[in-house]
Amino acid sequence: MEEKLSYQEGAEQPLSMHPKKFALWLFIVSVVMVFASLTSAYIVRQGEGNWLEFNLPDIFWYTSLVIIASSVTMHWAYLSAKRDALDTLRLALVITSFLGIVFLIGQWYSWVALVDRDVYFVGNPSGSFLYVFTGLHALHLISGVIFLIIVLISSLRFKIHSQNMAQMEMCVTYWHFLGALWLYLFMFLLLNH
């Protein structure tokens, strides 16, 4: 007996995602897991006692404003790419890159402020955690600035426009993730230091 196969109208297509976007999301999930485990370890270790209490450097407030501003300029770049406003796209990418570098410089000065308060990487675990949180975030932000520069070069070669947005969308996703991650870490530290 022969089985008949028939085509059904309106059959659902499988969900698909650009392979590089999928890899980016896997990377983001792994970074979230790393920071979730670190913040959990922070809370557990803090509960064990011998915890140095100190005020966070004021520069964290300023770097938080810088990272928020960079997310605004990144969104401006994205909207410009969708409208094929390539000069505006490039300007917004340059400003976002500059703000990312300003953020990194601010993080360096936060470490200087910590040393001035006798909070070191080696010593009390509260200081060690703070250096690890900010250092790991800075490392990821450096990769974000490099990604921004790659996208800027692609835009100069006319490879980013309304019909070719995959690289731009990945950069926007990663940059906004880095901004959200910093705000989470800052709020976590404010509430748990």
Q: Within a domain: residue 25?
A: no
67 within some domain? yes
The candidate with the shortest Cα–Cα distance to 183, out of 103, 58, 29, 64, is: 64
Is residue 46, in this structure, part of any structural domain at all? no
Domain membership flag for residue 133:
yes
Residue 16 falls inside a structural domain: no
Kindly state the tokens that stand for 11: 């059959």
pTM of the model: 0.87
Within 48-124, residue ranges assigned H as helices are 59-82, 86-116
pLDDT digits (tens, 9 = 90+) for 90-112: 999 999 999 999 999 999 999 99
Give me the number of domains the chain comprises: 1
CATH code, domain with 61: 1.20.120.80
pLDDT digits (tens, 9 = 90+) for 103-161: 999 999 999 999 998 888 888 888 899 999 999 999 999 999 999 999 999 999 999 98
Contact indicator for 99, 70 with CB cutoff of 8 Å: yes
Residue 6 falls inside a structural domain: no
Spatial separation of the C-alpha atoms in residues 24 and 36, rounded to whole Å = 18
Residues of the domain holding 62: 55-192
Q: How far apart are CA 155 and CA 84, in angstroms?
A: 10
